[in-house]
Amino acid sequence: MTTKPPSGVDPKTGEVQHTDDEVHVRPFAEMLTILDRGAAHAEASRGLHDLVASVQAVGRAGGLTIAIEVKPLKGAKDQLILTAQVTVKLPKSDATSQMFFVDNDGNLTRNDPRQLEFEGMRVVEPAAPRTVTPGV
């Protein structure tokens, strides 16, 4: 299944196209690569890579958000300050649980303090194997 690119977009390069009477729109990806000398693009790239690995490992959804704040420079209409914030939300795996018992002093222990202990138990070593010869 192929999807058709939005109108005004070159299907081969992804570049936003325009006619002479339209406004040229700079591609977002290009802006991301020059914003903060490419740091936002690098952070988003690394974040997406880590997110994919984490989703595969955990089997749950995560997300990546790129937020760009645009504000005017004080006293100048044609100068803007852009700030990019990349946020990665990695999926969380289930926490592992273990059961413990509480002893008479209020401490955690792996052994049930109410369970009787076996006294005099010992490890029985297996006997050495013997060879049986048929007919003897």
Q: Let me know if residue 75 belongs to a domain.
A: yes
Q: Let me know if residue 113 belongs to a domain.
A: no
| pLDDT at residue 67 in the model | 96
Q: Let me know if residue 72 belongs to a domain.
A: yes
Q: Let me know if residue 110 belongs to a domain.
A: no
DSSP designation for 108:
E
Q: Is 106 left (phi over 0), alpha (psi -120 to 50) or beta?
A: left
Q: Let me know if residue 105 belongs to a domain.
A: no
Structure tokens at 43: 């952070």
Question: Using one digit for the tens of pLDDT, what is the confidence trace for 2-15?
Answer: 565 566 777 777 77
Q: Let me know if residue 64 belongs to a domain.
A: yes
| pLDDT at residue 41 in the model | 95
| Full domain range(s) for residue 67 | 28-89
Q: Let me know if residue 94 belongs to a domain.
A: no
- pLDDT of 114 strictly over 60: yes
HSE-CB of 96 using CA atoms within 13 angstroms: 1
pTM beyond 0.75: no
Q: Let me know if residue 66 belongs to a domain.
A: yes
| pLDDT at residue 19 in the model | 62
Structure tokens at 105: 């002093």
Q: What is the mean pLDDT of residues 30-41?
A: 93
- How many domains is the chain built from? 1
More confident residue, 1 or 27: 27
